[in-house]
Amino acid sequence: MTEVASVNQLLDDMTESLDRLALLQQRELNAIVEREHADVPAITSEKEKALAEVTRLDTLLSEHPDKDTLKEDAQLAAAVESIKQTLANIQHQNQVNERVVQSTLNSIDQLKQSILQSARKDSLTYNSKGKIR
């Protein structure tokens, strides 16, 4: 028979997992801003694992036989509120990271277009009367 972790332990594990996820998001943002794009896929993979762990813990908490104590016990309720606030901060940081990524991609696209336009201007040819072909 599998031993069920205590609600307190699951909340502690959830807090640790969310803190790890928040740290990974900050690392991701730093990598993007400092143009260390090769690091982003590894960080994203770690974020996916951390998020999967958060989801797993959330499921365990929601199915826990003592889940009612999360609302009844003031200390546990405060821990749940703290976790919810951390989660809201993570979601906000994720939106910020998405905007930074989109802005970076837009800048790259603009640079690409500029380079292509410049290359086209350099490749213009003229006929014998000096007109552009």
Q: Decide if 130 is inside a domain.
A: no
In this prediction, residue 14 carries a pLDDT of 96
Q: Decide if 132 is inside a domain.
A: no
Q: Decide if 11 is inside a domain.
A: yes
Q: Decide if 113 is inside a domain.
A: yes
CA 30, 36, 41, 46 torsion-angle sign: negative
**Which two three-digit tokens encode residue 119?**
């290359």
Residue found under tokens 């696209």:
109
Q: Decide if 41 is inside a domain.
A: yes
Cα 42–48–50 angle (5° rounding)? 105
In this prediction, residue 115 carries a pLDDT of 81
| pLDDT tens by residue, the chain, 133 residues | 456 689 999 999 999 999 999 999 999 999 988 989 899 899 999 999 999 999 999 999 999 999 899 888 999 999 999 999 999 999 999 999 999 889 888 888 888 888 877 766 666 566 677 666 5
- Say if pTM beats, i.e. exceeds, 0.85: no
Q: Decide if 127 is inside a domain.
A: no
For the chain, the domain total comes to: 1
> Which of 85, 97, 83, 75 lies closest to 54, judged by CA?
83
**b/e map of 109-131 (b: 16 or more CB within 10 Å)?**
eeeeeeeeeeeeeeeeeeeeeee
In this prediction, residue 111 carries a pLDDT of 83
Q: Decide if 71 is inside a domain.
A: yes
In this prediction, residue 117 carries a pLDDT of 79
In this prediction, residue 1 carries a pLDDT of 40
Q: Which residue range forms the structural domain that includes residue 24?
A: 7-122
Q: Decide if 2 is inside a domain.
A: no
> Residues 117-123: contacts with CB within 8 Å, 24+ apart?
none
Return the amino acid letter for 82: S
In this prediction, residue 108 carries a pLDDT of 83
